[in-house]
Chain A
């Protein structure tokens, strides 16, 4: 396995994928908690399937007699076997790396390079559940996961797979300054702002995050930088957050005619 060369990257639970078209994107990797919930859901589905068959078998046994009861006992054992060893693989092949539980939690199994899951690898990673499960309740699997940067259990390591999160996200909304800047407020600012691109970007990021911050935190963050900008511009700083909004408005105003 050719591991991509290690570069200096922020410590984060994402995996960078480079596709054959040289597109790079990042997958968030699924942690143990999410995967345990998905496993529980799948367990419930399996139990429900077995229960339905068991009820049918029981009714058949009562209605017809011992021969049918034994026949259906054999059938039940075969179904139990299939659910134990093939349930995951069958779903993962049919649904491109997802089982019902994984689908409900927006999880998907992909190869460590981001390629789709292959049949043999799916079979391998699910057989290895027998080792991950030991001594009970996936104890070894959880310990191995906790030590791996991609949260892989033993089965994932053998099969070269990882589990990623594919939760849908909303597109970023447009930035609105409320109330809109008045000409009087803007006139106090110079036409050319003595601010670097990085600083303008930081201001924009702050304004986009503002909705999710409490008023106190908003003021606290704004007060960290606004006085610096104010003294650079040579103006008085009355309202830190408002000043940042005005700076952003002036910067985008200048950018627009381009």
Chain B
């Protein structure tokens, strides 16, 4: 039976070598072939030492070996690299499939957004006093003023970029928060959807009441198909997350949550990409000087594209998924 000191004396050189190998790179696959196989062999030998030492050595040596094994494990099994093909197949296949699979959540999230939106429009048009109780009047008038000029002359390119940046920051942030707060049993998503629906409806109604409905319509129609759909999808992902916490099908809440995670990731990543597209359109195309009929035609095309994408992309031939 070897004593601890003898084990250390016999194996310390190998441990140091492994330590050097794994500290040379963040992940082992950045090293050359011989180094990788040497590290793997040393790691396997280390696992034997660990079993031996756990039975026979003092806790400080076991802790050292545990730690070395942990670091070698992390280096040996490096993180999955980001791959373009995987991302591409997410966009062309998995995202629309996930949305079709979760169509009921999408329908619920649409209802939670569109009904308050309709209420907002009606309130602003017919009960302006009530509307100005909910949103500050100065903000509503500011919006009406903003859309009073129309976009016949477009904006400067600099202003376009500034606004695109603003939209990326603001709208994608809203969508992400709308999703993330779904962890509170879906309640956060519900609140975000209703609040934003009411808000957008009321502003649209107010601007229309002020007589600039055409302007705000032609402005919003371009990016709307992407932006609103994406916010609804983010909301649907949040609702799905909350739902998995409530309806667990006999699993623990955490287990049920993890089960739904792959779908949730697909939905949120897809929504994020749509929002980036929307921000580009909103910054550069929507305020451009193109005549309204062209804008509406393009909007119709965008809507058709988005609808077709979600209906047909990623279906396998002869079989509906």
Interface residues of A (CB under 8 A from B): 1, 3, 17, 19, 21, 23-27, 66-71, 73-78, 80-81, 84-85, 92-98, 108, 110, 114-121, 123-124, 127-131, 134, 154, 157-160, 164, 166-172, 174-175, 201, 204-205, 208, 252, 255, 258
Which A-chain residue is minimally distant from B23 (CB atoms)? Answer: A168
A residues within 8 A CB of B81?
Answer: 93
CA distance A256 to B214 in the complex (A): 95
A residues within 8 A CB of B183?
Answer: 128, 131, 154, 158
Q: If the complex has contacts A23-B69, A158-B183, A160-B261, are A115 and B77 also in contact, measured as CB distance less than 8 A?
A: yes
Is B58 in contact with A205, judged by CB distance below 8 angstroms?
A: yes
Is B3 in contact with A255, judged by CB distance below 8 angstroms?
A: yes
Q: 8 Å CB contacts to A: which residues of B18-77?
A: 19, 26-27, 44, 47, 50, 56-61, 63-71, 73-75, 77
Q: If the complex has contacts A70-B156, A169-B67, are A75 and B77 also in contact, measured as CB distance less than 8 A?
A: no
B residues within 8 A CB of A167?
Answer: 67
A residues within 8 A CB of B181?
Answer: 130-131, 134
The size of the chain B interface, using a CB distance under 8 A, is: 75
Which A-chain residue is minimally distant from B67 (CB atoms)? Answer: A169
CB < 8 Å: which of A95, A116, A157, A175 contacts B257?
A157
Is B258 in contact with A160, judged by CB distance below 8 angstroms?
A: yes
Contact with A along B266-293 (1 / 0, CB 8 A): 0011000000000000010000000000
B residues within 8 A CB of A123?
Answer: 265, 268-269
B residues within 8 A CB of A255?
Answer: 1, 3
Interface residues of B (CB under 8 A from A): 1, 3-5, 8-9, 12, 15, 19, 26-27, 44, 47, 50, 56-61, 63-71, 73-75, 77-82, 156-166, 168-169, 172-173, 176-177, 179-181, 183-184, 188, 241, 252, 254-255, 257-259, 261-262, 264-265, 268-269, 283
Is A77 in contact with B12, judged by CB distance below 8 angstroms?
A: no
Is A124 in contact with B58, judged by CB distance below 8 angstroms?
A: no
Which B-chain residue is minimally distant from A103 (CB atoms)? Answer: B26
Is B162 in contact with A71, judged by CB distance below 8 angstroms?
A: yes
Q: State how many angstroms separate the Cβ of B299 from the closest Cβ of chain A.
A: 23
Interface contacts beyond A23-B47, A76-B165: sample of 13 additional A-B pairs, CB < 8 Å, sorted by A: A70-B156, A74-B158, A74-B283, A75-B165, A77-B162, A96-B74, A96-B79, A131-B181, A131-B188, A160-B258, A166-B67, A171-B8, A172-B57
Is B74 in contact with A97, judged by CB distance below 8 angstroms?
A: yes
Q: State how many angstroms separate the Cβ of A37 from the closest Cβ of chain B.
A: 20
B residues within 8 A CB of A171?
Answer: 8, 12, 15, 61, 64
A residues within 8 A CB of B162?
Answer: 70-71, 73-74, 77
Is B26 in contact with A25, judged by CB distance below 8 angstroms?
A: no
Q: State how many angstroms separate the Cβ of B270 from the closest Cβ of chain A.
A: 12
Which B-chain residue is minimally distant from A118 (CB atoms)? Answer: B80
Q: State how many angstroms separate the Cβ of B88 from the closest Cβ of chain A.
A: 14
Is B158 in contact with A78, judged by CB distance below 8 angstroms?
A: no
Show 21 residue pairs from A and B whose CB-CB distance is below 8 angstroms, ordered by the A residue. A1-B258, A3-B255, A23-B50, A23-B69, A25-B70, A26-B66, A70-B162, A74-B165, A74-B283, A93-B79, A117-B79, A118-B79, A123-B265, A130-B180, A131-B183, A131-B188, A158-B257, A166-B71, A172-B61, A175-B4, A204-B4
Is A25 in contact with B73, judged by CB distance below 8 angstroms?
A: yes
Which B-chain residue is minimally distant from A148 (CB atoms)? Answer: B254
Q: State how many angstroms separate the Cβ of B197 from the closest Cβ of chain A.
A: 19
Q: State how many angstroms separate the Cβ of B277 from the closest Cβ of chain A.
A: 14
CA distance A26 to B68 in the complex (A): 10
Which A-chain residue is minimally distant from B65 (CB atoms)? Answer: A25
Which B-chain residue is minimally distant from A205 (CB atoms)? Answer: B58
Is B70 in contact with A166, judged by CB distance below 8 angstroms?
A: yes
Q: If the complex has contacts A21-B44, A97-B79, A116-B79, are A172 and B58 also in contact, measured as CB distance less than 8 A?
A: yes
CA distance A167 to B70 in the complex (A): 10
Which A-chain residue is minimally distant from B63 (CB atoms)? Answer: A169
Is B66 in contact with A95, judged by CB distance below 8 angstroms?
A: no
Q: State how many angstroms separate the Cβ of A192 from the closest Cβ of chain B.
A: 16
CA distance A136 to B321 in the complex (A): 42
CA distance A168 to B268 in the complex (A): 37
Is B26 in contact with A95, judged by CB distance below 8 angstroms?
A: yes
Which A-chain residue is minimally distant from B46 (CB atoms)? Answer: A23
CB < 8 Å: which of A96, A117, A127, A128 contacts B26?
A96
A residues within 8 A CB of B169?
Answer: 77-78, 80-81, 84
CB < 8 Å: which of A25, A96, A252 contacts B66?
A25
Q: State how many angstroms separate the Cβ of B237 from the closest Cβ of chain A.
A: 10
CA distance A131 to B79 in the complex (A): 25
Is A124 in contact with B261, judged by CB distance below 8 angstroms?
A: yes
Q: State how many angstroms separate the Cβ of A61 from the closest Cβ of chain B.
A: 10
Q: State how many angstroms separate the Cβ of A76 from the closest Cβ of chain B.
A: 7
The 4 closest A-B pairs by CB, nearest first: A77-B165, A70-B158, A74-B165, A74-B161
Q: State how many angstroms separate the Cβ of B77 from the closest Cβ of chain A.
A: 5
Q: State how many angstroms separate the Cβ of B87 from the closest Cβ of chain A.
A: 9
